[in-house]
Amino acid sequence: MGATHLPSTEFDGTAVDDQLEAEAEAAMGEPPAQMVQLLGPDGTLGTDPVYTHYAEKLDPEKLRGLFADMAAIRRFDVEATALQRQGQLALWVPLTGQEAAQIGSGRASQPQDYIFPTYREHGVALTRNVDLAELLRQFRGVSNGGWNPKDTNFHLYTLVLAAQTLHAVGYAMGIQRDQKSAAASDPVRTEPPAAVMAYFGDGASSEGDVHESMVFAASYNAPVVFFCQNNHWAISVPSTVQTRIPLSNRAKGYGFPGIRVDGNDVVAVHAVTEWALDHARQGKGPVLIEAFTYRVGAHTTADDPTKYRQSAEEDSWRAKDPLARLEKYLRAEGLADDAFFAKVKADGDELAAYVRRTTHDLETPDIRTAFANTYVEAHPLVAEELAWFEEYSAGFAGEETAGQAETEAGN
């Protein structure tokens, strides 16, 4: 039986990896883009002239912690997907395959840094101590957010594509001015400098907001790190349609560093992100990181990736699994044993049980709070709409009472 031909038109013959990028660079006479990798798919740790210095800070305990974080967020992702399939969530946005990009970058940040996520950064949320059960409030439709960003310096999820990049640059410019003002009024003040990190995907990179945010970041030397998770697919559009050259190369046009890193290598991601955040905090300006990774599952639970990509592509990326490569390294170096991995699995199951229990216990808020929270002060139009809603709801209550009376009379 021959290979199945996908019912596609615009993507027929389109390379879905970096083949077209390499061809475009060759045509322009550009050298191939270098990708930072320290921990290969076989679990072997290499070196890099710049980033090995940062990787060496990851002692065995921290490496085990990175693995535990990645395993926990993958287990959480599986549970959240199941909850959506069971009707407990309206929608879910999976992250499987992108654990290293998120955990590595999130763990490289410091408490004073501020994070602007998209809607898929569940792993980053874990590293910022956000209660993962709180993430599900928004996807269940019972909250506009779910957590207070002031508690963790992790902003609410942004559903409007790329809007968070503008927010991040504005916030970074605010940090810049606050720190300058504080230094002028109190030269001996010792508060640590802060930076901002903005997450977005390869699809969002085509939005004008990303371009505008990078223009402002470069113009004002803002302390912001742009973290692009190039997971190869913006829903059904491959990354090669978004760009013919590595996305990290776009930083050149704005005049700041751009780094492409193996997004499935948690050690390299952590090292590169730590360098970039240090660079930003020191007043040297923005950095663009392109984490070259892959979305193994669907874009959301409303998506069917079999309609636009082939299973062979997914299989090739599963061989680069970020958890498997770190496990190989930990076992080969004698840094973790069966007991450690068994505990990680048990902890993941416990987390899943907590999330499932908490989600089932969530109560639907009274819709009247939406009217009350529209304006600070009472508003006549809102009052009119609330009155209409009350009247409308009362009509249903009457029907229910009549139906109940008929049932009782029949008995």
Identity of the residue numbered 198: A
Report residues of the chain scoring pLDDT below 70. 1-33, 398-411
182 backbone φψ class: left, alpha, beta (φ>0; ψ -120 to 50): alpha
Tokens of 317: 């990326």
What pLDDT is attached to residue 7?
A: 40
Report pLDDT for 189. 72
What is the pTM assigned to this prediction? Answer: 0.88
Determine the pLDDT at residue 3: 45
pLDDT at 374 (0 to 100): 87
Burial of 329 (0-12, 13-18, 19+ CB in 10 A): buried
CATH 2.30.30.40 for domain 19-361, yes or no, is no
How many angstroms separate the CA atoms of 28 and 258, rounded?
18
- Residue that has been written with the tokens 């392109």 in this structure: 290
Torsions phi, psi for 262 (to 5 deg): -65, 105
Cite the active site residues: 295, 299, 308
Domain assignments of the chain as residue spans, ordered by start: 19-361, 368-410
Q: What is the pLDDT of residue 21?
A: 65
